[in-house]
Amino acid sequence: MPAFSLEPEQTTWCAELRTLAAERLKPLAEKGEPGRVNRPLVAALGDLGLLARLFDAGALELCLLRESLARTCTEAETALALQGLGGHPVAAFGTPAQRDRWLPEVAAGRAVAAFALSEPGAGSDAAALALDAVPDGRGGWHLHGEKRWISNAPEADFATVFARTTPGAGARGITAFLVPADRPGLGGEPLDMLAPHALGTLTFDGVPVGPEDLLGEPDQGFRVAMNTLNLFRPSVGAFAVGMAQAALDAALAHTAARPAFGGVLADLQAVSHRIADMATRTEAARLLVYAAATAYDTGDPDVPRRSAMAKLLATETAQYVVDAAVQLHGAAALQRGHLLEHLYREVRAPRIYEGATEVQRTIIAKELYASRRRDHGDGAPGAAPRHATAPRTEEVPSA
């Protein structure tokens, strides 16, 4: 069966999710405080069994879940995705004790998770990551430095934290730790962002961590990061597709009914052709996201390229579609509280987090040239040169 073909039960489930989001989750989202973790919303996601699916779902199911929620309630989608992003490293690399302690709490919505990778001087350039893990002489470390633009910070109950354990080793000298929020020396503050998500800083003033806090092996933290991001990048595209579809639905309804020049807006070719472009781009992005997710689920070795393509096209498409929908609505769409005003703020960030658009292009080009070298050999005529300064895939995660 083609990667983009969904079974009837899958489309039925997606419709059920949209209804659930409208009736159960959106009212809770609207009561939340902007810029803060909405714990009642997270708890509701747990009560409905949606968070538990994060840890046994395949990539395609994750994409369908995120797209469906995003079409109706972006806050619920984001709360769910952040639980997955922060909890997945524990599920995939945690010790039995770590998994037993935290995964039931995350799945139930009682514990809030964070994924702490980005720093003031290290986003896309992971080799510049500087949070310092200083050996304590007893087999553990003390963490010194700052993480910034971390979702759910500083309110998360624990964070997957990436720190430098081997100076000068670039991406290969990073270790992942599970750091509970009550560790001494751990602080932080919220950040005021364009879209009022729970986003903030984490500060580390000698935060103690030991071997029992390791996620994976020492100096192998970027394996943890890339394993997580390869799964979640296609689903970021699904989030974007959900927003694009919501904007397209709104634009269709508006232009079909809005009186203009003796008819309705849809009668104008300039408008109907714009709608056609919006729909075509949204569908193309959706198919690429589904194909990338299916590649992940089937163990395709081409996952990095496919995931990067899916995130690139879907997030750029969503930006275009939301902007076009605003244009078709006119000034009304810019009024606070309008769906498109909300989407206009929400749609900008996905082009940056979990690998900016430029990072995705770097990954895609790298993978294409690497494939050509494998097929033709390094010395093949026209083969791309190996630039010493070109970032490797594992060096450009950005979150």
Q: What DSSP line would sit under 326-368, residue for residue?
A: HHHHGGGGGSTT-HHHHHHHHTTGGGTTTS-HHHHHHHHHHHH
Phi/psi at 49 (5° precision): 80, 5
Between 55 and 320, whose confidence is greater? 320
> Rounded to an integer, what distance in angstroms lies between the CA atom of residue 378 and that of residue 248?
46
Q: Where does the pLDDT of residue 126 fall: very low under 50, low under 70, confident under 90, or very high at 90 and above?
A: low
User: Which candidate in 67, 77, 354, 394 is catalytic?
Assistant: 354
* Total count of residues recorded for the chain: 399
Query: Residue 305: what pLDDT?
Result: 93
**b/e for 245-266, b at 16 or more Cβ within 10 A?**
bbbbebbbebbeebeeeeeebb
Task: For strands 259-260 and 263-264, give the pairing.
Answer: antiparallel
DSSP 247-272: HHHHHHHHHHH-EETTEEGGGSHHHH
User: Which tokens in the block code for residue 331?
Assistant: 């000034």
**Mean pLDDT, all residues of the chain:** 91
Which has more pLDDT, 56 or 315?
315
pLDDT, average across residues 273-290:
97
What's the rounded mean pLDDT across residues 167-180? 93
140 and 226 Cβ atoms separated by less than 8 Å: no
- Whole-number Å distance between alpha carbons of 187 and 346: 27
User: Mean pLDDT throughout 181-208?
Assistant: 94
pLDDT of residue 229: 85
**pLDDT of 388 strictly over 70:** no
Confidence class for position 393, pLDDT limits 50, 70, 90: very low
Asked whether 225 and 156 are in contact (CB, 8 A), the reply is: no
For 221, counting Cβ atoms within 10 Å of its Cβ (0-12 exposed, 13-18 middle, 19+ buried), the class is: buried
Reply yes or no on whether the pLDDT at 119 is more than 80.
yes
Average pLDDT over residues 306-310: 94
Q: With H, G, I as helix, E, B as strand and everything else as coil, classify residue 98.
A: helix
Evaluate if pTM is beyond 0.75: yes
- pLDDT greater than 80 at residue 394: no
Report residue 271 as tokens: 């408008």
pLDDT in tens, 65-111: 999 999 999 999 999 999 999 999 999 999 999 999 999 999 999 99
Task: Check pLDDT > 60 for residue 382.
Answer: no
pLDDT, one tens digit per residue, over 321-361 is 999 999 999 999 999 999 999 999 999 999 998 889 999 99
Confidence of residue 397 (pLDDT cuts 50, 70, 90): very low
- pLDDT value of residue 242: 98
Mean pLDDT of 376-398: 47
Average pLDDT over residues 266-292: 97
Q: How confident is the model at residue 375 (pLDDT cuts 50, 70, 90)?
A: confident
Query: Measured between alpha carbons, how far is 339 from 194 in angstroms, rounded to an integer?
Result: 16
Residue 306 confidence (pLDDT): 93
**φ and ψ of 299, to 5 deg:** 75, 25
Here the tokens at position 134 are 């200083």
Is 7 among the catalytic positions? no
Average pLDDT over residues 53-61: 91
Position 390 confidence tier, pLDDT thresholds 50, 70, 90: very low
Retrieve residue 277's tokens: 């472009």
Q: Is the pLDDT of residue 389 over 80?
A: no
